[in-house]
Structure 1
């Protein structure tokens, strides 16, 4: 969710065939917990349950990590949205010049951080819902049903994305429209939107287009985020295994801070590049206007898309080529890689802090 949007499954070292002796030892990265391993002679199921962090801790840590990660990268996300939503605008073609142009013309708060209120409306709750769903599903599948761990984590990530999507998709629609608009009565860029603020955007959309508009691009968003989460998980697992080998550490030890950052960034960035065409179609569907003025020039018109992901990708490819499908890939790569690292790192730090406080309380 980690939108994604904040849909990023937090995964680490997991049990592998032949590692039965490590299964219920203290493994902070596997369970997302720093609680000491159980010392009683309870059953394996009880031991596994005790080794996990409380779900409420996962929700709080995930929400904090997601909100801070999204906040840090929002300005770059705005540049990406402009590039994808206004592909025929020359001043937004280059990422660096687009960043500078938006800042100079529209400022930081209303320009680069336009739509921030819409993003925060769904960032914390959607991340919290994702991590709660992810953790509950993972624990059930691995410990109760004894299903393959890789499949369990993939399924848990997909399900976490799906459940949290009911929160983050409306937030995404509001965010992208406000980002594409920029300033109210913006003299530097005409997107077709002109909302005074977040409340006005919600009321105007519902009054003029109906509340289902808040879920425009729902299928496109899921089609982007589910593959992103799956790919990021697969890459992250492989990169972490390589990192453990490189640092000559066992799976129950912690990786260095630099390895945690690099593995998360590489996984998120690579998955972000591959899913860019889906992100382009999602952005176009969510920000397209109901009608295009007939007196608009051909170059200014953005081809109207249907709600079909496949047809949308074909339309973009026919009208803009491969470059159109990968518009905004630079900002998206940087955004997904840095946001993934920030979110994963903050999630782990927050979770350790919460679990440490719980351990201290249990001593008294």
Structure 2
């Protein structure tokens, strides 16, 4: 009877610390947005500017966009949509790492064994789909706030709450999920590619660093440092961005605010694809990719540096508990 007591206590500790991946992901998401938000504003404005009738100013390149926004709109213009971006990124990364870790645990037959690339892919895809369903309304509001300029003809949103209330009043609940289809494709494919690349590159670096060391002399965590995490995050992000960027353009164009008569510029994803291909060609699907890479490559490095190091601290605290 007395020998059965330690097991439920150990299980209780494990359950109490299951949130550590989500906490590390949330911290990483906040740090990423705070550092890189102006480039996100520039990217969004490039994405929706199709060269036809638009209330947005025309920018020559990323640097010109940043200087023009700063000159005409000030710091508020460069940080338009910052609140929903912080909330969305923090919640998204927190949920993503949480769902991803739980999916990996479920897919793993032996918790000490390494998952195959296919199972990493499945875990990341599952996490991406769940996150997209939870956060699409936040990203829609962020997009609309970022597209507000002094040239806007319609009454601007005053903030996150006002935008949500106005959208639901003028367009209904369904409007909060505009862009959900390309968003799902984006989240599932982007996350799957990024995390599969990250995990495989991570294993490669660990194997390389551990080949001259005694087996089990050091844990995987101790073999890697912040420079390794930065390289891993940046490399995996580049691969994901290049392969999935058109989904971002389609989603951004769908999420624009309707005209004053209430008619959306684009009716659905297929309409965006047809119109973009017709008037802009392949280049239209990659508008804004330069600020996107400038934002996301270092941002991915920041994300994984913060995530891995916060996770280390939480694991250390768990061992002491």
Please point out which of 64, 67, 90 is paired with 1:97: 64
Report the alpha carbon displacement of residue 355 of structure 1 after superposing the two structures with TM.
1.9
In structure 2, what is the equivalent of residue 136 of structure 1? 102
In structure 1, what is the equivalent of residue 231 of structure 2? 262
In structure 2, what is the equivalent of residue 276 of structure 1? 245
Report the alpha carbon displacement of residue 192 of structure 1 after superposing the two structures with TM.
4.7
The Cα offsets for residues 55-113 of structure 1, whole Å up to 9 and x where unpaired, read as 211111111111211222111100000111224366323111101111121111x2011
Distance, in Å, in 2 between the alignment partners of 1:332 and 1:323 is: 15
User: Please, which runs of 5 or more residues in structure 2 have no aligned partner?
Assistant: 1-9, 214-218
The Cα offsets for residues 308-359 of structure 1, whole Å up to 9 and x where unpaired, read as 3x44223211111222111001011122212211111101111111222222
| Residue 216 of structure 1 pairs with residue 185 of structure 2 | no
The answer (yes or no) to whether the contact 1:134–1:156 under 8 Å persists in 2 is yes
SS at match of 1:287: coil
The answer (yes or no) to whether the contact 1:126–1:164 under 8 Å persists in 2 is yes
The answer (yes or no) to whether the contact 1:180–1:191 under 8 Å persists in 2 is no
Distance, in Å, in 2 between the alignment partners of 1:191 and 1:135 is: 46
Report the alpha carbon displacement of residue 291 of structure 1 after superposing the two structures with TM.
6.1
SS at match of 1:143: coil
In structure 1, what is the equivalent of residue 190 of structure 2? 228
Kindly report the root-mean-square deviation, in angstroms, between the aligned alpha carbons of the 2 structures: 3.2
| Residue 346 of structure 1 pairs with residue 306 of structure 2 | yes
User: Please, which runs of 5 or more residues in structure 1 have no aligned partner?
Assistant: 1-46, 295-302
Note the 1:1-364 alignment, pairs <5 A: 54-88=17-51, 91-108=58-75, 110-143=76-109, 149-182=116-149, 186=150, 189-190=151-152, 192=154, 194-244=156-206, 247=209, 249=211, 252=220, 254-289=223-258, 304-308=265-269, 310-360=270-320, 362=321
Normalised to the residue count of structure 1, the TM-score between the two structures is: 0.74
Report the alpha carbon displacement of residue 176 of structure 1 after superposing the two structures with TM.
0.4
The answer (yes or no) to whether the contact 1:142–1:149 under 8 Å persists in 2 is no
Distance, in Å, in 2 between the alignment partners of 1:143 and 1:270 is: 29
The answer (yes or no) to whether the contact 1:62–1:127 under 8 Å persists in 2 is yes
Cα separation, partners in 2 of 1:147 and 1:254, compared to 1, 3 Å: closer
The Cα offsets for residues 96-152 of structure 1, whole Å up to 9 and x where unpaired, read as 1101111121111x2011001122232222322222211111111113698953222
Cα separation, partners in 2 of 1:209 and 1:271, compared to 1, 3 Å: same
Report the alpha carbon displacement of residue 270 of structure 1 after superposing the two structures with TM.
2.6
Normalised to the residue count of structure 2, the TM-score between the two structures is: 0.83
Report the alpha carbon displacement of residue 258 of structure 1 after superposing the two structures with TM.
2.1
In structure 2, what is the equivalent of residue 6 of structure 1? none
Distance, in Å, in 2 between the alignment partners of 1:206 and 1:90 is: 28
Does 209-218 or 233-242 show the bigger shift? 233-242
The answer (yes or no) to whether the contact 1:56–1:132 under 8 Å persists in 2 is yes
SS at match of 1:305: coil
The answer (yes or no) to whether the contact 2:17–2:318 under 8 Å persists in 1 is no
Cα separation, partners in 2 of 1:137 and 1:192, compared to 1, 3 Å: same
Report the alpha carbon displacement of residue 51 of structure 1 after superposing the two structures with TM.
9.5
Cα separation, partners in 2 of 1:51 and 1:345, compared to 1, 3 Å: farther
Report the alpha carbon displacement of residue 256 of structure 1 after superposing the two structures with TM.
3.8
Distance, in Å, in 2 between the alignment partners of 1:236 and 1:304 is: 37
SS at match of 2:266: coil
